[in-house]
Amino acid sequence: MQVGRWNHQSSNSGSSSRPSGKRFSRSFGSHQNAPASRGENRFPSGRSARGGYGSKSSFSSRGRAPARRGGFGVFGETEAEISKFMNKTVVTTEEPVFVPEHKFSDFDINSHLKKNIEARHYVSPTPIQDKAIPHALLGQDVVGLAATGTGKTAAFLIPLIDKVMKQKGERVLIMAPTRELAVQIEKELAGFARGLGFRGMVAVGGANISPQISQLKHDPAFVIGTPGRLKDLMERRALVLTGFGTVVLDEADRMLDMGFIDDMRTILSKMRKERHTLFFSATMGKDIQKLIGDFLDQPVIISVKTRDTPSSVDQDIVRIPRGKDKFDVLAEMLKDREFSKVLVFGRTKFGVEKLAKALSRLHIHAESIHGNKTQGARQRALETFKAGKVSVLVATDVAARGIDIPAVSHVINYDLPSTYEDYIHRIGRTGRAALKGKALTFVQGR
């Protein structure tokens, strides 16, 4: 597929109307009319609660643009913002190659843990791992600022597994913004800690709380959860935090953006004042700085961000002319074989579910992930997509952070993100592990 602006070209010459994947050049229009709400609980603008998808104009999101940020706005309403969705990966100079100061074998950690790391084919640390692990091993508070997909999970799990091995009775609390990220962290933990004789557990909403309460009775060394469920377990007195000497806040900026600030503060206030705190975020806003000042003790601040968006992702827009149904454009694109493993982002739970069903009716096999699904259903959808049993996963921003899905060929922003930071995290799901990826953002005409 040629890199460049996309232009849907209808054909009257007898050739197929399916895109070739090689030439969607030039533009589709100039402006995206925004959805009605930044939250997941409202219907997109231009739709009624009874409207069905798959019909003409049903995905058009027509209507007046909402107010910005504080009024549930979106990012991408102006041409200046739209330009940020276009970033070709054609470069004339190579980016400098990172040379780590350490190898994993150099770290003063448990020998069995080293063998587990080696078994997972970890040799040289990523920048955040190379810089953060030595300080975490010394027990220092760490603030790690790094873009998505840079290996932050191993940067805190490796030193903390070693800590649990060396300090009898040490327990670790890990807070994450989404169920999927919490589950993924636990899977990473299981791999690194194989055969070391301790356990971890996941405490998230959308799943039966009774088994989680039962697991907590065994005093797991690692408790990994979302703030809302952790607070619920505390209120039920199933989770007592006075025994935890270490806490990790992963994707802290996303937790703040999702409205977990009060829950986070409540949870941290119940822990020992003298504790070891590791804090990871992609951005450093005023709320993040305040949280760091309130709960970390002389932290080492490590920033390995080199650019907002990864150079491995080719970014462009799909301009959709006024009167054209963007669902038709999406469906046509997805029939092209180049779109082999596609993550499509929508803004509302309702819209995401309907979009996945509408695509499936066209024999474009799709699954969905959003907040109205149970944890089990979300996990099954994710695993089905990872395994290649479906080619399209339609998701709200619950899938934008920390989810490692191998070999995603394309990220499509069917609906505009709320902020530029959300955009960065969305497109970070492709172009991972030395692979190239493509990100396309739908921009609807006036």
Could you report the average pLDDT of every consecutive run of 10 residues in the chain (446 residues)? 36 35 35 35 34 38 35 70 67 56 92 95 91 96 84 95 94 93 93 93 93 96 96 96 94 84 92 92 82 90 72 87 90 92 93 95 93 85 90 86 80 90 83 82 81
**CA-to-CA distance for 333 and 84, rounded, in angstroms?**
22
Mean pLDDT of the chain: 80
Question: What's the chain's length in residues?
Answer: 446
What is the pLDDT at residue 64?
A: 32
Hey, how many other C-beta atoms are within 10 angstroms of the C-beta on 128?
25
DSSP 3-state assignment of 300? Answer: strand
Identify which of 337, 328, 320 has the alpha carbon closest to the alpha carbon of residue 359: 328
What is the pLDDT at residue 341?
A: 93
| 370 token code pair | 């959003």
Q: Which helix (H) or strand (E) holds 343?
A: strand 342-345
The type of residue at 31 is H
What is the pLDDT at residue 240?
A: 95
DSSP 3-state assignment of 344? Answer: strand
What is the pLDDT at residue 31?
A: 34
Contact 157, 151 (CB under 8 A): no
User: What does the angle CA 254 – CA 75 – CA 39 come to, to the nearest 5 degrees?
Assistant: 55
Taking the CA atoms of residue 266, residue 267, residue 269 and residue 270 in that order, the dihedral angle to the nearest 10 degrees is 120
Identify which of 414, 434, 443 has the alpha carbon closest to the alpha carbon of residue 426: 414
Angle in degrees, 0-180, between the axes of helices 152-166 and 111-119, rounded to the nearest 10: 150
Instruction: Say if domain 1-95+308-446 classifies as CATH 3.20.20.100.
Output: no
CATH of domain 104-303: 3.40.50.300
What is the pLDDT at residue 9?
A: 37
Residue intervals of the chain classified under CATH 3.40.50.300 are 1-95+308-446, 104-303
**CA-to-CA distance for 365 and 359, rounded, in angstroms?**
7
DSSP alpha helix (H) spans, 41-144: 79-82, 111-119, 127-137
Tell me whether strands 142-145 and 222-225 are parallel, antiparallel or unpaired. unpaired
- DSSP structural state of residue 397: G
Against a cut of 0.85, is the pTM above it? no
What is the pLDDT at residue 200?
A: 94
